[in-house]
Amino acid sequence: MKYFVFFLLSFGSLAAQVRLVVTSPANTPENARIFMASSLNNWNPTDSGFELKKNAAGKYELEIPENSGKVEYKFTQGSWETTEGNESGKGIENRTFTFTGTPQIIENTILSWAKPEPKKHTASKNVRILSENFAVPQLETTRRIWIYLPVDYQSSKKKYPVIYMHDGQNLFDNLTSFSGEWQVDETMDKFFQEGENQAIIVGIDNGGSERLNEYSPWENTKYGGGKGDLYADFLAQTLKPYIDKNYRTLASAKNTGLIGSSMGGLISFYTGLKYPEKFGKLGVFSPSFWFANSDLNLYISEYSKFLKKSKIYFLAGRKESAEMVTDIEKVAPILIRKGICRKNIKTKFDDYGTHSESYWAKEFPAAYLWLF
């Protein structure tokens, strides 16, 4: 067995530290690169800033600033395909610890490195790739765009609401998802069979290494950001006009939504604030408000007066970061004081909720039905 020691040190004092002692399985490669993917780094499985390094004694360690609240984390060898697993090599629930400001020693035993099952295409026949390289002039790049058309789109002349969703890789197809898909297409197919209102769903792939930069209009000194304003402009000024021109859509704000999770929740909320005349229904799942809290609050104070007709669905799990629920609880009353009707804001906090695709997939149907 190999042993890795992972140190979490506070800014102010070496005494206030968390020490995670990690026992790894025998089949761990001698020169393995071990990373911590967690709620501290947006679940990046190969973040160089969270890579465990060998010290003079040959042990692995990592130092990060002392913080507050609960942290969820897992160990990886640099990808979600090489994350830690249970005795059978299957995935495990997130590990957790809580910053206390006092010394802690936490032992971790990695039972195996996961043996991922071969991924298969799972997208329904109503999903297609609109473009592999749709032009994003605001960011001087291109992006893959997915589109889901309602079951009866080809056989009717109806017009439909439209929902724009971020992290398109994770919405429809397990083959392209990084840790499971939302099953948006299966949900909408089921709703058709049950007689529920239908909608066109447009999925925009994230930019990979540019995801954090593009999903926040404000910069975080440690993690980046700052291109979110351009991304919002792309949604409002380029993508939405294209979809409205080429598909039978109900183009008004009350029939147009944005839904995203984590950083995607942040950019959905921001874009809805900037363009309330275009996007009137917002699904804000586990939003990373922490990324730019002070800037966001200032922006809300300035722009929320234009949101009187908007509907906003906030979702978060209590097993996420300690600030997740409280950040939403601080925002909602501000919106109400600024004139948004109380009945147009829904907050749902689940005791079982984690920062995961599986949680958001489970909660998507209820959010859709409330918004539309």
Mean pLDDT over residues 280-301, rounded?
93
Any bridge partners for residue 20, and if so which? 6, 106
In words, the CATH class of domain 127-371 is: alpha beta
Q: How much is the pLDDT for 277?
A: 95
String of DSSP letters for 191-254: HHHTTPPP-EEEEE---GGGHHHHT-SSEETTTEE--HHHHHHIIIIIIHHHHHHHS-B--SGG
pLDDT tens-digit readout, 43-100: 888 898 888 877 766 667 787 777 877 788 899 998 887 889 888 888 788 888 888 8
Residue 106: pLDDT band (50, 70, 90) is confident
Sign, CA dihedral 228-234-237-240, equals negative
Residue 350: pLDDT band (50, 70, 90) is very high
- Residue spans of the domains in the chain: they are 2-113, 127-371
Mean pLDDT over residues 99-107, rounded?
83
- The answer to whether 45 and 83 have CB atoms below 8 angstroms apart is yes
Exposure of 100 in the CB half-sphere (CA atoms within 13 A) = 11
CATH architecture entry for 2-113? Sandwich (2.60)
Q: How much is the pLDDT for 39?
A: 79
